[in-house]
Amino acid sequence: MNIIDRFLKYVSFDTKADGNSSTCPSTPGQLVLGKYLEEELKSIGLSDVSQDKNGYVYATLKSNTDKKVPTVGFVAHMDTSPATSGKDIKPQIVDYKGGDIKLNDEYSILEKEFPFIKNLVGEKLITTDGTTLLGADDKAGIAIIVSAMEHLVNHPEIKHGDIKIGFTPDEEIGRGADLFDVEKFAADFAYTVDGGPIGELEFENFNAASGNIEIEGKVVHPGSAKDVMVNALIIAMELNSLLPSNERPEHTEHYEGFYMLDSLEGDVSKANMSYIIRDHSSEKFENKKELLQNAVDFLNKKYNNAIKLTIEDSYYNMREKIEPHMEIVDIAEQSMIELDIKPIIKPIRGGTDGARLSFMGLPCPNLFAGGYNFHGRYEFVPVSSLEKGTELVVKIVENLEAK
């Protein structure tokens, strides 16, 4: 199967994650895609293929060399973001000649909003029809890995050691590595294929936490509310105003962290807020959590302990776990250079399963999957990025054996 057809097949599965679900995987569509992948991996000749009860898919391409070669893994996730519908995706293939890209009568990828598309003139792009996300995050990564394994099976003259494959559920809601069996995976190191545009190579990411807030108000008739009513929504607005406005996602870049008000719902009597807290620096990360706690403590003195805050860490910057193994980053970088791919080494303004896996004893930097504008209707992926991603996985495997 060519990589376009493979990718289009994968995005036909509705695998939108659900952060409100307590099951693993959080949605049944992920199990369905996982079962399909299990059968596909068996059909192309991989060994030890299984989908476990939690939806994780594992497989091995056995070594075909007598040399002692490190066991490398490649990991991608099956779920798509809960931010936008992933049901009934209708991809469009566009031979891009420049200018705006019409998705439907209401939505277009506008050159003035996404000026980087000027660099993609002449490319074949897979876009949405403007009603859903595409699912390149991370079904492009899955397609790249499976296509690379199929190429290696069909070209036994390419020597390699054992190669491990892992496909995870629920990465988009921060649970992708929760039940990953590192011992069963049995790789010396791995790469997630979960990055953005071609050339991305990442070994550092945000430290991340969630802040969940419950606010208890007091309801009385507004006509007799003086000095009695406590409006939970007003407290929520006041709390948000105490956080630095320049430290929001829309005002930050590079190594700058942020607070993001992710949801706010309620009424006068009760309100619930959720924040995500991010920073690459562990010191600044701790300071951000402390500032949110201080803001709550300040308002609790004013409003008689009306606010309850729970902060939970989600993942940490994998840099400290990768730096002792920088040779695995160097191999990926050299492999890109050999394929005329310009390496773009930068911090992830987010997280991957690789961050958690690195702290679980599996050093795991991140490779590009090729897509742009993840999580929304403007998402797209160039076909050439899928093809180059496949070549990169093969080249990394070749270079490991050649060392």
Q: Which CATH class is domain 3-205+317-402?
A: alpha beta
Q: Mind spelling out the 3-state secondary structure of 92-131? A: EEEECCCCCEECCCCCEECCCCCHHHHHHCCCEEEECCCC
- A 10 A CB-CB count for 83 gives 13
Q: Where in the chain is the domain with CATH 3.40.630.10?
A: 3-205+317-402
Which residue from 283, 211, 267 is spatially nearest to 240, judged by alpha carbons? 211
pLDDT of residue 1: 87
Which residue from 364, 349, 302 is spatially nearest to 205, judged by alpha carbons? 349
pLDDT of residue 402: 82
Whether 251 has a pLDDT exceeding 80, the answer reads yes
Average pLDDT over residues 224-253: 95
pLDDT of residue 174: 87
Please state, in angstroms and as integers, the Cα–Cα distance from residue 47 to each residue in 108, 182, 252, following that order: 44, 17, 45
Average pLDDT of the chain? Answer: 96
Distance CA 392, CA 302 (A): 58
pLDDT of residue 314: 87
pLDDT of residue 231: 95
Whether 403 has a pLDDT exceeding 80, the answer reads no
Share of the chain above pLDDT 90, in %: 96
Q: Where in the chain is the domain with CATH 3.30.70.360?
A: 207-315
- CA 12, distance to chain mean position in Å, is 19
CATH fold of 207-315: Alpha-Beta Plaits (3.30.70)
Q: How confident is the model at residue 355 (pLDDT cuts 50, 70, 90)?
A: very high
Task: Quick: pLDDT tens for 15-62.
Answer: 999 988 999 999 999 999 999 999 999 999 999 999 999 999 999 999
Whether 269 has a pLDDT exceeding 90, the answer reads yes
Average pLDDT over residues 105-113: 97
Mind telling me the catalytic residues? Answer: 79, 171
* pTM of the predicted protein model: 0.90
More confident residue, 380 or 401: 380
